[in-house]
Structure 1
Amino acid sequence: MKYLAISIALSVISMGVVIYLTYTPGVLEHLKPKRLPGLGLAIVVTLLKVYFTAAKIRYLADKVIGKMAAVRIALTWDFASAVTPSTIGGAPVATYAMTREGIKLGQSSAIMLYSVLLDQFWYAMAVPILLISSMYLQVLPPEIGLVGNVTMILIYTGLLLYGALLAYGLLINPAVIKKVIEKIFKLPFLKKYADKVNAEADNLESYSRLLRKKPLTFVLKAFYLSTMTWLCKIALPVIVVLSLLPGDEILLILRSLAMNLAFLVIPTPGGSGGVEGLFAIFLGPLIDRKAFIGLAVFAWRIITYYSSIGLGIFAMLWYVNDSVNQKLAETDETKPTEI
């Protein structure tokens, strides 16, 4: 709850600042009704993002869970990502959700790692696209200056290195991951969990080896589902902007891609307070009317961030109710039978 409150507060404050700095009276009079249905399209794309995330999770789990279970996990993942620091992400909470759906902890951890690895493959493809495009177009806005450009280069380099290390640990030598886990849980304050965690590390290693043996078609389909999820993320800011005003579609897409990569290193819960500013810096200069920048940020965050929180709360409540019902059932079973 603390992270949720901080995340929402930062989001509201940053949106308020952007709107205050860009708003001019009568801006709504310039809205063209024929463009507004684009906001409906943005909502559809948000739902498609959830669908592709759920489909990827279910596919990586060899379809041992149902479609609704996969959707609940995807919504929980989005919710956790919206209220935890971007550098942590929602994977740990999504792993918990998988265990609630009947998947072993070791297997769910391996699925999360494999899912993260697929994202890294996507970054490895996206970074060269941005670098090559930067030779011909102003992909990075001049407003970010030298510090911003160096930061983006460091982000690109870090993503590629992390992807290489994760690929080695998950696909080439999964025993490395197990050894790292074992060393961590030798620490004095973690020793009491060592036996259980080491057993799950064995499951993680064995499932990693199973994933490594999957045919190329399996990897390609999983990568396709991961790519579609990312394309939805990139498309959403572009659709929102174009729902308000015409713009340079190609440059909007490229800047949205660069912006989404920059989101990954914002340390605040859900990136709140930072993503709104990055939206204004990356996409704001491409919006003809300055007064529409705040409106675009507001519409984008409502459709993506606040919808994730709302839907995620319903998914989390389902798990809470399921856990309570399970404990009540266990209590009833342990009660002595009356004669």
Structure 2
Amino acid sequence: MGFLIYYTYTPGVLKHLKPKRLPGLGIAVIVSFLRLWFVAAKIRYLSEKKLGWLASFRVMLSWDFTSSITPSTIGGAPMATYALTKEGFKLGQSTAIILYSVLLDQLWFALAVPILVVTGLFFEVVPNNTGMVGHASMLLLYIGLLSYAGLMAYGVLINPDAIKKVVNKIFKLPLLRRWKDTVEGEVDNLVEYSHELRKKPKSFLLKTFFFSTMSWLARIALPTIVVLSLLPADVILSVLRSLAMNLAFLIMPTPGGSGGVEGLFAIFQGPLMDRKAFIGLAVFAWRVISYYITIGFGMMATTWYINRSVLENRSSNADEAIEHDITSSKSV
């Protein structure tokens, strides 16, 4: 971000800002919080409303925070699963809920890919300045997302027992064998809850898919809203490019995609901005609104779970110490 601002900013450029456009940044903040609400609503609905709203936001924010500090290819799903266990769910149930949530995202990606392919025939969705490498990379990304979505759908919706077989084989390895019995029990819970989810009416799937779709639409709208808050631009092309670059964010190897996502923003959205001096400013505003604000809230949510875990361990250790003292007294 610093490099982008340094290489694109020119003194006096701020005087070209139009005050009537700046309220758009406020709209971007609202859209960012709407995205968080839709994700929390999806998690709460998947838990069959056993999670309260506050707990749903905690789980979602800890998920978001972990995604922001780990490589995009890893994501925050393990932390979200852990958070659900701290909210009283069994590990198998927690895993099934998060897997189902991830599946909904993957199904949305599977719909987004054809949209990008078709619109790419009429719009320059992938900028020509990326060359053959850029176009080939996006094609491979499309294929990868569709393949992963197919595997997820098969494992969660069609044959959950396949997941069980894979996990059981993994935990037969020498280094993991000690946890085999515990994991088998939790995998049974996962399969059981997956079967329960499969029995849900279509309206259940449609509603959760709606929440997932709205959260991603809010995420995609943010770069366009930020750009339009500074300068006029081609709205349709900006939205399509935002969709393409958000898919590309999924394979960034750095924590939260840092470095890569700023570069992609400049590549995809930069050519749509008449004044190149605003590119760094747009990236800064977008990252603060969509990334750093949620990092702050997510840090508080994640710390809450860590503190709770520490307190539970202390309480458990104290109970063991008391039980040991009682046993020793009886012996005496």
Q: Please tell me the TM-score bracket, short chain as reference.
A: over 0.9
What percent of counterpart residues are identical?
A: 63
Q: Distance in 1 between matches of 2:71 and 2:306?
A: 23
Counterpart residue number, 2:67: 81
Name 1:42's counterpart in structure 2: 28
Moved more, 51-60 or 317-326: 317-326
Distance 2:319 2:250 in 1: 47
Determine the structure 2 residue equivalent to 1:108: 94
**Partner residue of 2:118?**
132
Matches of residues 150-189 of structure 1 in structure 2 within 5 Å? 150-189=136-175
How far the C-alpha of 1:18 sits from its partner, in A, is 1.0
Structure 2 alignment gaps of length 5 or more: none
| Alignment partner, residue 109 of structure 2 | 123
Q: What is the alpha-carbon distance in structure 2 between the residues aligned to residue 161 and residue 109 of structure 1?
A: 21
Q: 1:254 aligns with which of 198, 220, 240?
A: 240
Counterparts of 2:184 and 2:141 in 1: how far apart (Å)? 33
Of 289-298 and 122-131, more deviation after overlay is shown by: 122-131
Aligned partner of 2:16 in structure 1 is 30
TM-score for both structures, normalised by structure 2: 0.95
Is 1:329 aligned to residue 315 of structure 2? yes
What pairs with 1:246-325 in structure 2 (closer than 5 Å)? 246-325=232-311
Partner of 1:10: none
- Cα displacement (A) at 1:143: 1.3
Where 1:267 maps in the other structure, the secondary structure is: coil
Q: 2:40 is matched with which residue?
A: 54
**Counterpart-to-counterpart distance in 1, 2:70 and 2:184:** 26
Q: Shift in Å at residue 299 of structure 1?
A: 0.6
CA drift of 1:330 comes to 3.2
Cα distance in structure 2, aligned partners of 1:266 and 1:332: 44
Residues of 2 paired with 1:331 and 1:265: CA distance?
42
2:191 to 205, 229, 232: 205
Give yes or no for the alignment of 1:228 onto 2:209.
no
Q: Which digits, 9 at most, give the CA deviation of each residue in 1:173-225, with x for residues without a partner?
A: 11000000011111111111111111111111111111111110000001000
For 1:56, the aligned partner's letter is K
- Residue equivalent to 1:9: none
RMSD of equivalent CA atoms: 1.3
Residue 20 of structure 1 pairs with residue 6 of structure 2: yes
Q: Could you tell me which residue of structure 2 aligns to residue 239 of structure 1?
A: 225
Q: Normalization by structure 1: what TM-score? A: 0.93
Partner of 1:4: none
Q: Secondary structure at the match of 1:324?
A: helix
Larger Rg belongs to:
2
One-letter code aligned to 2:68:
A
Specify the code of the residue in structure 1 equivalent to 2:185.
A
Give the match's secondary structure for 1:159: helix
Which consecutive residues of structure 1, in runs of 5 or more, have no partner in the other structure?
A: 1-14
Q: How far did 1:331 drift?
A: 4.2
**Letter in structure 1 aligned against 2:211:** L
